[in-house]
Structure 1
Amino acid sequence: MWSFFARDPSKDFPYEIGDIVTGLEDKSVWALHQAKKKGTNEDVSVFVFDLRTGNETQFDVARAAVKRLKTLRHPSILTYLDSLETEKVLYLATEFVVPLETHLAQLSREGHQRDLYLSWGIFQITRALSFLNNDGNLRHNNVCLSSVFVNTAGEWKLGGVEYMAGAVEGTGLPIKILPTLEKYDPPEKADPSRQRLITKCSTDMWGLGCLIWEAFNGSLPQQSSLKDLNNIPKQLSTVYCELVGANPASRPNPADIITRCRKIGGYFKNDLVDALLFLEEIQIKEKNEKNRFFSSITSQLDSFPENVCQHKILPQLITAFEYGDAGSAVLMPMFKLGRLLDEVEYQKKIVPCVVKLFSSNDRATRIRLLQQLEHFIGHLQSNIVNEQIFPQVANGFMDTNPTIREQTVKSIIHLAPKLNYNNLNVEVLRHFARLQSKDDQGGIRTNTTVCLGKIAQHLHPQIRQKVLISAFIRAMRDPFPPARSAGVLALAATQQYFLLSEVATRILPALCQLTIDPEKSVRDSAFRTIKGFLGKLEKVSEDPSLRESMEADVHTATPSLSNAAATWAGWAVTAVTAKFYRSQSDTVKSITPMASKTLSKPGSLEQPSSSSISTTTSSVTSMTSLEQEESKGGDSVSDYDETWDTENWGDMEAPSGQIGMTEPRSPLPGQISGRTDRKGTDGWDMDEWGSLEEEPALEGSEACTSGGDWGSPDFVAVEGAATKSASSYSFGETAKDEVAGLTVKLPDEPRTPAAKSPSGWEENEWEPIEETGGASSKLEEARKKREERKLQRQKELEARRATRVSGGPMKLGAKKI
Structure 2
Amino acid sequence: MEFLKSAVASAIAKGSSLPFSLGDRVDIGDSIWTLHNGTKRDDSSACSVFTFDIAANKSRLPLAKNAVRKSRTLRHPGVIKVLDTIETETNLYIVTERVAPLAWQTKRRSLSEETAKWGLYTISSTLKFVNEDASSVHGAVRASSIYTSESGEWKLGGFDILSSMKEDDAIIYVSLLVPKTLELDENTDIRQTYGSLVPDGGRYTPPEVAKGGWDVIKRHPLAAVDAYGLGVLIYEVFNGNFSGGDQVGKTTNIPPSMHQSYKRLCTANPKLRLSPGHFLEQGKKHGGFFQTPLIRMSEDVESLGLKSDAEREQFINELDELADDFPEDFFKMKVLPELLKSVEFGGGGPKVLGATLKIGSKLSADEFNAKLTPVIVRLFSNPDRALRVCLLDNLPSMIDNLPQKVVNDKIFPPMTSGFTDVAPVVREQTVKAVLTVINKLSDRVINGELLKFLARTANDEQPGIRTNTTICLGKIAKNIGQSTRSKVLIAAFTRAIRDPFVHARNAGLLALGATVEFFTDDDCASKVLPAICPALLDKEKLVRDQANKTLDLYLQRVRKTASTMADTVLPPPSTAPQPQKSDVQIGTSNDKSWAGWAISSFTNKIAAADGDIAPTATATKPSEPEIPRPTSLPRPEKSSPSAQLGLPRQQPLRPVAQPLGRSLSDRPATAVPEPVEDDGEDVFDAWGAMDDDEGEVDPFTAAVATPKSESPAPSASRSPAVPYDDGGEPDFAGWLAAKSQAKTKNPLPKGLHKASSTNTVPTRAAPKPRAVAPAKKIDIKPKDEVQDDDWGDAWD
TM-score in terms of structure 2 length: 0.65
- Equivalent of 2:135 in 127, 134, 137: 137
Using the alignment, how far apart are the partners of 2:433 and 2:537 within structure 1?
34
Match of 1:19? 24
SS of the residue 2:147 aligns to? strand
Amino acid at match of 1:50: D
Match of 1:94? 96
Match of 1:331? 353
Residue segments in structure 2 that go unaligned for 5+ positions in a row = 1-11, 174-192, 567-696, 707-746, 754-758, 760-787
Using the alignment, how far apart are the partners of 1:80 and 1:342 within structure 2?
27
Match of 2:766? none
Match of 1:744? none
Using the alignment, how far apart are the partners of 1:336 and 1:728 within structure 2?
66
Q: Is the 8 A contact 1:169 1:200 kept in 2?
A: no
Task: Please tell me whether residue 427 in structure 1 is matched to residue 429 in structure 2.
Answer: no
TM-superposition CA deviations, 1:375-408 (whole Å, max 9, x none): 2223333333333222211111111111111111
- Equivalent of 1:248 in 270, 287, 301: 270
Match of 1:352? 374
Match of 2:51? 48
Amino acid at match of 1:360: N
Which deviates more, 262-271 or 168-177?
A: 168-177
Sort the Cα spacing of 1:430 and 1:196 in 2 relative to 1 into closer, same or farther, 3 A: closer
Using the alignment, how far apart are the partners of 2:253 and 2:275 within structure 1?
24
Match of 1:70? 72
Aligned length: 556
Match of 1:495? 516
Q: 1:157, CA displacement in angstroms?
A: 0.6
Q: 1:59, CA displacement in angstroms?
A: 0.4
Using the alignment, how far apart are the partners of 1:381 and 1:9 within structure 2?
35
Q: Is the 8 A contact 1:139 1:167 kept in 2?
A: yes
Match of 1:214? 236
RMSD across aligned positions (CA): 3.5
- Equivalent of 2:302 in 280, 288, 292: 280
Q: Is the 8 A contact 1:44 1:96 kept in 2?
A: yes
Sort the Cα spacing of 1:190 and 1:375 in 2 relative to 1 into closer, same or farther, 3 A: closer
What does residue range 725-804 of structure 1 map to in structure 2 within 5 Å? 730=751
Sort the Cα spacing of 1:195 and 1:414 in 2 relative to 1 into closer, same or farther, 3 A: closer
Q: Is the 8 A contact 1:500 1:537 kept in 2?
A: yes
Using the alignment, how far apart are the partners of 2:515 and 2:293 within structure 1?
48
Using the alignment, how far apart are the partners of 1:167 and 1:731 within structure 2?
114
TM-score in terms of structure 1 length: 0.63
Using the alignment, how far apart are the partners of 1:196 and 1:377 within structure 2?
62
Which protein shows a greater Rg?
2
Match of 1:739? none
Sort the Cα spacing of 1:468 and 1:297 in 2 relative to 1 into closer, same or farther, 3 A: same
SS of the residue 1:163 aligns to? coil
Q: 1:497, CA displacement in angstroms?
A: 0.6
Q: Is the 8 A contact 1:133 1:201 kept in 2?
A: yes
Sort the Cα spacing of 1:104 and 1:501 in 2 relative to 1 into closer, same or farther, 3 A: farther
Sort the Cα spacing of 1:457 and 1:521 in 2 relative to 1 into closer, same or farther, 3 A: same
Task: Please tell me whether residue 462 in structure 1 is matched to residue 462 in structure 2.
Answer: no
Sort the Cα spacing of 1:287 and 1:490 in 2 relative to 1 into closer, same or farther, 3 A: same
Amino acid at match of 1:440: E
Amino acid at match of 1:98: A
Q: 1:461, CA displacement in angstroms?
A: 0.9
Amino acid at match of 1:311: M
Using the alignment, how far apart are the partners of 1:197 and 1:8 within structure 2?
45
Amino acid at match of 2:349: G
Q: 1:496, CA displacement in angstroms?
A: 1.0
Match of 1:108? 110
- Equivalent of 1:450 in 471, 474, 488: 471
Sort the Cα spacing of 1:137 and 1:730 in 2 relative to 1 into closer, same or farther, 3 A: farther
SS of the residue 2:28 aligns to? coil
- Equivalent of 1:414 in 423, 431, 436: 436
Sort the Cα spacing of 1:333 and 1:445 in 2 relative to 1 into closer, same or farther, 3 A: same
Amino acid at match of 1:36: T
Sort the Cα spacing of 1:460 and 1:311 in 2 relative to 1 into closer, same or farther, 3 A: same
Using the alignment, how far apart are the partners of 1:498 and 1:377 within structure 2?
31
Match of 1:181? 201
Match of 2:539? 518
Match of 2:414? 392
Percent sequence identity over aligned pairs: 36
Q: Is the 8 A contact 2:26 2:36 kept in 1?
A: yes
Q: Is the 8 A contact 1:197 1:248 kept in 2?
A: no
What does residue range 348-387 of structure 1 map to in structure 2 within 5 Å? 348-387=370-409
Q: 1:366, CA displacement in angstroms?
A: 1.0
What does residue range 249-264 of structure 1 map to in structure 2 within 5 Å? 249-264=271-286
Sort the Cα spacing of 1:728 and 1:163 in 2 relative to 1 into closer, same or farther, 3 A: farther
Using the alignment, how far apart are the partners of 1:422 and 1:326 within structure 2?
37
Q: 1:73, CA displacement in angstroms?
A: 1.0
Using the alignment, how far apart are the partners of 1:412 and 1:304 within structure 2?
34
TM-superposition CA deviations, 1:336-390 (whole Å, max 9, x none): 2223333332222211111101111111111111111222223333333333222
Task: Please tell me whether residue 205 in structure 1 is matched to residue 265 in structure 2.
Answer: no
Q: Is the 8 A contact 2:106 2:236 kept in 1?
A: no
Q: Relative contact order: is structure 1 or structure 2 higher (C-alpha 8 Å, sep ≥ 6)? A: 1
Q: Is the 8 A contact 1:358 1:369 kept in 2?
A: yes
Q: Is the 8 A contact 2:13 2:22 kept in 1?
A: no
Using the alignment, how far apart are the partners of 2:547 and 2:107 within structure 1?
63
